[in-house]
Amino acid sequence: MNGLTSTANYAQAISGNSPAFAANSALYGDLTVEGYMLQGFLKGVAAVAQSPGNNIYINAGWVNGMTSSQQEAMLLHELLHNITGSVDSVLQGDLGLSTTAPSQNIGDKLEKDCLP
Amino acid sequence: MRPLRSFLLITFLWVQILGAEGQAHLRVHVTDAYGNPVPPQMLELTGEDGKTIEPKQDEVRTVKYGLYSVKARAQGFAVTVNTFLVDQPEQILSVTMKLGAMEVPVPLCSIAGHVAPDNRITRIRALQPFGSYSVDVPVADGGSFRFESLECGDYMMLAMGPKGCIASTMFRATPRGPKVEIRVSELSGGACSAGR
């Protein structure tokens, strides 16, 4: 889905199926997915995923500048959120990565280990 | 026959008392920072002897007194590890899960406030009602105070003087929340004055 035009409530869109919904709702209030993407644009938010769920919100401003293998790795990263409902630090820990580093290391590892 | 029966009964009761000494009926309750229950995917309680048990949310387990580490994992939250001293016959360990980052760090909260007009107040304590975190900051001469980089959530704010707690109030810290303007007259003093 296009994250830069989505007016869905961010907390509902991302964590509506998760026990973290109430806390995310209190934290982010009326913020939309679009608003989250724009806030996070300078920090490099390329995509966010419904965790758990089926939706992935894409920030074309970042994704269009990636190589195809980087795009595939990013999608794999977001699919892990979809499937497990886990946040970045948990995925990092499960993959044996630093849990304090930016989440870019998840995509980097998936690209290196899983993609040709 | 009767003395023997009495002796056995007393011995049985004494063994029961000795056996129960230093044991707690323990429950682990996992919530978010706003007090909403969070069903953990994984909950581990590890004692000083390294022995680990896996209780369910709010399930009563009998353990010895001592230091315990609780590790909890739940969807949408970072893995949380807390240490607790278990020293009550009936005890609840409150574990507060922290939201986990999704691509960018979870926003933190500041609480900036002002206390007036009571100049007896020298410090403000922010206390997590659903967790075990607490922190004190001083009140400046003008009555202002500030907490930085707190996890967003509910806090009990205690206004403390040199001789103890003067007043208290609940506060919800949000990233875009307004400044806190706390006047002593608006504070609920009952919580602090009780028992004094």
**Tens-place pLDDT, residues A47-80:** 999 999 999 999 998 898 999 999 999 999 999 9
Domain range for B138: 109-190
Last residue of a domain, one of B96, B131, B149: B96
- On whether both B122 and B178 belong to a single domain, the answer is yes
Nearest to B126 by CA among B33, B1, B32, B28: B33
Instruction: Please tell me the predicted confidence (pLDDT) of residue A61.
Output: 87
Neighbours of B124 (CB within 10 A): 22
* B7 located within any domain: no
pLDDT > 90 fraction of chain A, expressed in percent and rounded: 78
Report the distance separating Cα A74 and Cα A58, nearest Å: 10
> How many angstroms separate the CA of residue A115 from the nearest CA in chain B?
21
ipTM, two decimals, is 0.92
* A1 located within any domain: no
* Contact assignment for A89 to B101 by CB distance below 8 Å: yes
* B5 located within any domain: no
Last residue of a domain, one of B69, B96, B123: B96
Give the global pTM. 0.84
- For an interface test with A, the pick among B29, B31, B71, B75 (most A C-beta atoms closer than 10 Å) comes out as B75
Instruction: Please tell me the predicted confidence (pLDDT) of residue B132.
Output: 80
- On whether both B186 and B113 belong to a single domain, the answer is yes
* Contact assignment for A48 to B77 by CB distance below 8 Å: no
- On whether both B150 and B172 belong to a single domain, the answer is yes
Domain range for A55: 10-114
Instruction: Please tell me the predicted confidence (pLDDT) of residue B12.
Output: 52
Last residue of a domain, one of B37, B69, B96: B96
What average pLDDT does the structure give for chain A?
92
* Minimum-distance CB partner of A19 among B39, B107, B153: B39
* Minimum-distance CB partner of B38 among A19, A89, A90: A19
Instruction: Please tell me the predicted confidence (pLDDT) of residue B194.
Output: 45
- The Cα-based distances of A103 to A87, A94, B62 in angstroms read 10, 13, 40
CATH at B43: 2.60.40.1120
* Contact assignment for A26 to B172 by CB distance below 8 Å: yes
* B64 located within any domain: yes
For chain A, how many structural domains are there in total? Answer: 1
Instruction: Please tell me the predicted confidence (pLDDT) of residue B130.
Output: 86
* A66 located within any domain: yes
3-state SS, residue B8? helix
- On whether both B116 and B89 belong to a single domain, the answer is no
- On whether both B76 and B129 belong to a single domain, the answer is no
Tell me the pLDDT of chain B (196 aa) as tens digits.
Answer: 566 667 656 655 554 544 456 899 999 999 999 999 999 999 999 999 999 999 999 999 999 999 999 999 999 999 999 999 999 999 999 999 999 998 888 888 888 888 876 677 889 999 999 888 899 999 998 888 999 989 899 998 888 888 888 888 888 888 776 666 666 554 544 456 544 3
* B63 located within any domain: yes
Residues of chain A with pLDDT under 50: none
* A22 located within any domain: yes
For A85, nearest residue in chain B (alpha carbons):
B75
* Minimum-distance CB partner of B34 among A19, A23, A81: A23
* A45 located within any domain: yes
Chain B residues in contact with A51 by the CB 8 A cut-off are 75-76, 102
Are the CB atoms for B78 and A89 separated by under 8 Å? yes
Report the distance separating Cα B107 and Cα A83, nearest Å: 25
* B78 located within any domain: yes
* A82 located within any domain: yes
* A3 located within any domain: no
For chain B, how many structural domains are there in total? Answer: 2
* B102 located within any domain: no
